[in-house]
């Protein structure tokens, strides 16, 4: 059963939120702290090793109460249950959305089309574990009898962004293996990676649901040709594995059937790192750490599914984004992690959020007349402070931001970590307070403050806490989609460019550009003239 189609702007509560917005929109955040002595306590949520402080926002307790009304009016609770139970909430593709099942307890049951998919998941996880352990231990050797030293993951979109982000974030926990990622169909970059590895000691993972993705297969075939300069066709089975639902094409490529890992149509690409797509993670940090990542996500799943809305971190985050996008008309949102290990986290969230909720039609297929989707961007602190924070503090644009920090460093260097975290705490205070109360002799030096932030303070960056962090944003995105009344799990917007690119590729081969507009035609003529 699909989700209800309810235009949020036509609800009774939306009108109340508009009135409330007009009442408080000009109140400085700091004034709320002055009038509310326990504000930080009332507007904070603690969950295990997570502390979420949303008190530095342009809201009051009434704002949260009204959003609670809205969530009840659009029946968010029912939507969450459909999400977890496997209803076909991706209604345009008639698919359930069950990445949460990938990290559920193994003893749970989830019946889909008459079959318990938890048995499939358990089997896949066991296969990942056995294969990972054979590579890491050195039992699985390359064609010349040498141990595997390097892993190269070949995929694009969700088959790359999630696993590469996690591997980078958890680099402290890495095994003896070095992991590389090839996504862009950029031959220069591909060859740079190949220059770093040895065909005798490298394992290649081809990740493509259909095994037809043009970028992935182009890269895979180039890698295969490179490999065969040193090896023979029979050696492919020792050095190439696939994550795909199209086993026939993978076998045709030369990959042995036992080295093909499953993909399911009830897991979208941008939510697939928890599945066999995450085998690069398991190889990089070991299966035990991969499983801890899943367990951390499960903790956040349980929190999201079972907590009341006013004490639900992903739900509150989603409501705040609606508040700023649809009432204040702030269109962007920055992700600022104070850990260099998380330098790709914002890039990962760009796809997760913008591909999910960048939609112009509602769930019934009608064009929407309100803003949906956030423009996600960011960088790690303290680098960001010396880059774009000038605009944050004194620019005319207001950019709500999430600050992500850790109480304890991974390596235990307290001096460095104290300096890092003093900046973390200082920035959210400065963005909120500005230079209020100070005697400033020039407008150039004035900071107005009143810039909203969320503070996410986590005990330590571990596989478990990273799993919870990713899951938290996944559920925020889901909740946003429910409120905006869009389908968050299809991505038809990526198809048009791919279709045109396929046609242009043929035109480049034929040297016939007559069917194109004058601009594209001139550009193609310029490009082809360099051949």
d(CA 508, CA 519): 15
Q: In the structure, what pLDDT confidence band is assigned to residue 65 with cuts at 50, 70 and 90?
A: very high
Q: Residue 396 half-sphere exposure, CB side, CA atoms within 13 Å?
A: 0
- Look up residue 261 and give its DSSP letter: E
Closest CA to 463 of 297, 275, 283: 297
d(CA 111, CA 81): 14
Burial of 472 (0-12, 13-18, 19+ CB in 10 A): buried
Q: Report, as residue numbers or ranges, the catalytic residues.
A: 355, 386, 498
Q: For residue range 309-358, list pLDDT tens digits in order.
A: 999 999 999 999 999 999 999 999 999 999 999 999 999 999 999 999 99
198 against 529, higher pLDDT: 198
**pLDDT surpassing 80 at residue 225:** yes
d(CA 264, CA 99): 10
pLDDT recorded at residue 448: 95
d(CA 204, CA 28): 55
The stretch 189-193 carries a mean pLDDT of 97
Output the average pLDDT for the chain. Answer: 96
Evaluate the omega torsion of the peptide bond into residue 140 and state whether it is cis, within 30 degrees of 0: no
Question: What is the layout of strands, in order, in the sheet containing 202-207?
Answer: 178-182, 150-154, 202-207, 240-243, 260-261
**pLDDT surpassing 80 at residue 378:** yes
**pLDDT surpassing 90 at residue 498:** no
Residues 6+ apart with CB under 8 A from 254: 224, 233, 236, 237, 240
pLDDT recorded at residue 77: 98
Closest CA to 259 of 273, 241, 243: 241
- Look up residue 194 and give its DSSP letter: H
pLDDT recorded at residue 435: 93
> Range with the lowest mean pLDDT among 267-271, 427-431, 499-503?
499-503
**pLDDT surpassing 90 at residue 531:** no
Question: Domains in the chain, start-ordered, CATH in brackets?
Answer: 8-73+307-435+446-490 (3.40.50.10490), 104-289 (3.40.50.10490), 494-528 (no CATH)
The stretch 87-112 carries a mean pLDDT of 95
**pLDDT surpassing 70 at residue 1:** no
Cα 213 versus chain centre, distance: 21
d(CA 337, CA 57): 18
CB 269 within 8 A of CB 159: yes
The stretch 22-46 carries a mean pLDDT of 97
Q: In the structure, what pLDDT confidence band is assigned to residue 34 with cuts at 50, 70 and 90?
A: very high
Render the burial of 42-74: b for 16+ CB within 10 Å, e for the rest: ebebebebbbbbbbbbbbbeebbebbbbbbeeb
Render the burial of 150-184: b for 16+ CB within 10 Å, e for the rest: bbbbbbbbbbbbbbbbbbbbbeebebebebbbbbe
pLDDT above 90 covers what percent of the chain? Answer: 96
């Amino acid at each position: 059963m699909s989700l209800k189609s309810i235009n949020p702007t036509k609800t009774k509560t939306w009108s109340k939120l508009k009135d409330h917005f007009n009442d408080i929109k000009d109140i400085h955040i700091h004034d709320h702290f002055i009038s509310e002595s326990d504000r930080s306590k009332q507007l904070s949520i603690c969950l295990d090793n997570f502390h979420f402080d949303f008190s530095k926002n342009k809201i009051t307790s009434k704002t949260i109460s009204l959003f609670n009304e809205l969530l009840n009016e659009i029946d968010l609770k029912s939507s969450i249950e459909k999400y977890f139970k496997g209803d076909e909430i991706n209604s345009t593709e008639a698919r359930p959305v069950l990445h949460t099942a990938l990290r559920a307890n193994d003893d749970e049951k989830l019946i889909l089309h008459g079959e318990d998919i938890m048995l499939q998941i358990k089997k896949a996880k066991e296969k990942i574990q056995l294969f990972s352990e054979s590579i890491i231990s050195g039992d699985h050797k390359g064609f010349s009898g040498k141990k595997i030293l390097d892993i190269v993951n070949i995929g694009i979109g969700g088959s790359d962004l999630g696993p590469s982000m996690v591997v980078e974030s958890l680099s402290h926990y890495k095994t003896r293996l070095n992991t590389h990622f090839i996504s862009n169909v950029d031959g220069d970059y591909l060859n740079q990676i190949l220059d770093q590895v040895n065909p005798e000691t490298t394992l290649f993972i081809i990740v493509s649901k259909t095994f037809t993705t043009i970028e992935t297969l182009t890269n895979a075939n180039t890698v295969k040709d490179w490999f065969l300069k040193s090896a023979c066709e029979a050696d492919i089975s020792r050095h190439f594995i696939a994550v795909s639902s199209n086993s026939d094409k993978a076998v045709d490529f030369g990959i042995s059937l036992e080295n093909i890992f499953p993909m399911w149509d009830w897991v979208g690409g941008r939510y697939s790192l928890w599945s066999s797509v995450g085998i690069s993670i398991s190889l990089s940090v070991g299966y035990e750490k991969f499983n801890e990542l899943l367990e951390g996500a499960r903790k956040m799943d349980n929190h999201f599914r079972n907590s009341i809305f006013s004490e639900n971190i992903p739900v509150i985050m989603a409501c705040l984004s609606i508040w700023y996008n649809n009432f204040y008309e702030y269109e962007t949102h920055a992700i600022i992690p104070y850990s260099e290990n998380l330098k790709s986290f914002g890039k990962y969230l760009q796809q997760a959020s913008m591909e999910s909720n960048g939609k112009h039609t509602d769930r019934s297929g009608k064009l929407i007349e309100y803003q949906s989707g956030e423009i996600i961007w960011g960088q790690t602190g303290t680098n960001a402070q010396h880059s774009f924070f000038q605009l944050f503090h004194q620019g005319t644009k207001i950019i709500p931001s999430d600050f992500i920090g850790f109480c304890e460093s991974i390596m235990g260097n307290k001096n460095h970590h104290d300096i890092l975290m003093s900046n973390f705490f200082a920035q959210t205070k400065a963005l909120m307070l500005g230079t209020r109360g100070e005697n400033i002799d020039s407008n150039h030096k004035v900071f107005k403050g009143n810039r909203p932030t969320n503070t996410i303070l986590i005990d330590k960056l571990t596989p478990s806490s990273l799993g919870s962090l990713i899951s938290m944003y996944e559920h925020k995105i889901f909740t946003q989609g429910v409120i905006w009344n869009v389908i968050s799990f299809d991505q038809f917007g990526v198809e048009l460019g791919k279709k045109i690119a396929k046609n242009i590729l043929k035109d480049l081969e034929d040297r016939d550009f007559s069917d194109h507009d004058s601009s594209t035609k001139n550009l193609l003529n310029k490009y082809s003239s360099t051949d």
